[in-house]
């Protein structure tokens, strides 16, 4: 049995639409690799050599502006697709926030495979549009929302993504995939502000924090109300 058939994220990865024969072809051009926390898989501005799926762990997308300051653009979780197919350079860096495992492909080999397999190309288009929508929402989040609204929206988003697209809806209990410092960087806040907002949600009995990174949502409606989007 090939690695694709045993893949833990196959059902919600970019290649889920492929049959066994095509998966076998894809498996032959891919490789599994481990990335240590803090290690970069891709660097902004470098030649785009790799694409792939996140299998385990959490990675961040970041970009540097003209004065050298680094900005976190988003996070990548298991099942997410990394890299830029059909693009010559990387638009952002991809850096591991935790130890992670990824399934990578040479971009040129993947591009050729995708062109010969329309379902995969269609999946890439869907993912691109989804990421575009997510980026727009993120820009609105950072530009217009208060600290309380940002933290509440982030928790709701993480609960949705932890559900892995099943029919039970957002997960009520999940582990934050990032530290509070990383969360602060993502939300454009200080770690003190993030901790203060989480404490307030806990005191209001909207969430519980049964573990170091564990979040238990006690009242979804109340959490949504904090976001001013109820």
Residues of the chain with CATH 1.10.10.10: 145-226
Average pLDDT, integer, range 7-35 = 85
Cα dihedral 124, 129, 130, 132 sign? positive
Q: What is the pLDDT of residue 89?
A: 86
Using the predicted structure, report yes or no on whether residue 202 has a pLDDT greater than 90: yes
Specify the fold of 145-226: Arc Repressor Mutant, subunit A (1.10.10)
Using the predicted structure, report yes or no on whether residue 168 has a pLDDT greater than 60: no
Residues of the chain with CATH 2.60.120.10: 10-140
Q: Which residue would you say has higher pLDDT here, 32 or 132?
A: 32
Average pLDDT, integer, range 156-167 = 72
Q: What percent of the chain is modeled with pLDDT above 90?
A: 35
Using the predicted structure, report yes or no on whether residue 167 has a pLDDT greater than 50: no
Six-digit token string for 188: 């454009």
- The pTM score is 0.78
In words, the CATH class of domain 10-140 is mainly beta
Average pLDDT, integer, range 203-217 = 93
Q: What is the pLDDT of residue 224?
A: 92
Q: What is the pLDDT of residue 222?
A: 95
Per-residue confidence band for 100, with pLDDT thresholds at 50, 70 and 90: very high
Average pLDDT, integer, range 78-98 = 87
Average pLDDT, integer, range 205-216 = 93
Q: Which residue would you say has higher pLDDT here, 115 or 66?
A: 115
Average pLDDT, integer, range 167-177 = 76
> What mean pLDDT is reported for the chain?
85
Per-residue confidence band for 162, with pLDDT thresholds at 50, 70 and 90: confident
Long-range contacts of 29-34 (CB under 8 A, 24+ apart): 29/105, 29/106, 29/109, 29/110, 29/113, 30/3, 30/4, 30/103, 30/104, 30/105, 31/103, 31/104, 31/105, 32/3, 32/101, 32/102, 32/103, 32/104, 33/101, 33/102, 33/104, 34/99, 34/100, 34/101
Q: Which residue would you say has higher pLDDT here, 145 or 55?
A: 55
Q: What is the pLDDT of residue 69?
A: 74
Q: Which residue would you say has higher pLDDT here, 83 or 219?
A: 219
Residue 102: phi and psi, rounded to 5, are -135, 150
């Amino acid at each position: 049995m090939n690695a694709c058939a045993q893949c833990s994220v196959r059902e919600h990865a970019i290649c889920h639409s492929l049959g066994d024969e095509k998966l076998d072809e894809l498996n032959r051009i891919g490789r599994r690799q481990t990335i240590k926390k803090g290690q970069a898989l891709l660097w902004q501005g470098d030649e785009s050599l790799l694409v792939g799926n996140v299998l385990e762990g959490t990675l961040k997308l970041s970009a540097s502006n003209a004065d050298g300051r680094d900005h976190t653009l988003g996070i990548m979780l298991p099942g997410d697709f990394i890299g830029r197919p059909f693009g010559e350079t990387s638009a952002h860096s991809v850096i591991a926030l935790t130890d992670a495992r990824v399934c990578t492909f040479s971009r040129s080999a993947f591009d050729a495979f995708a062109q010969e397999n329309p379902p995969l190309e269609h999946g890439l288009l869907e993912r691109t549009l989804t990421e575009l929508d997510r980026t727009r929402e993120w820009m609105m989040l950072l530009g217009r929302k208060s600290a309380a609204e940002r933290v509440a929206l982030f928790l709701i988003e993480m609960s949705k993504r932890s559900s892995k697209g099943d029919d039970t809806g957002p997960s009520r209990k999940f582990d934050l995939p990032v530290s509070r410092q990383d969360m602060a960087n993502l939300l454009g806040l200080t770690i003190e502000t993030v901790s203060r907002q989480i404490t307030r949600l806990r005191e209001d009995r909207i969430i519980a924090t049964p573990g170091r990174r564990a979040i238990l949502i006690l009242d979804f409606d109340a959490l949504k109300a904090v976001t001013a989007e109820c």
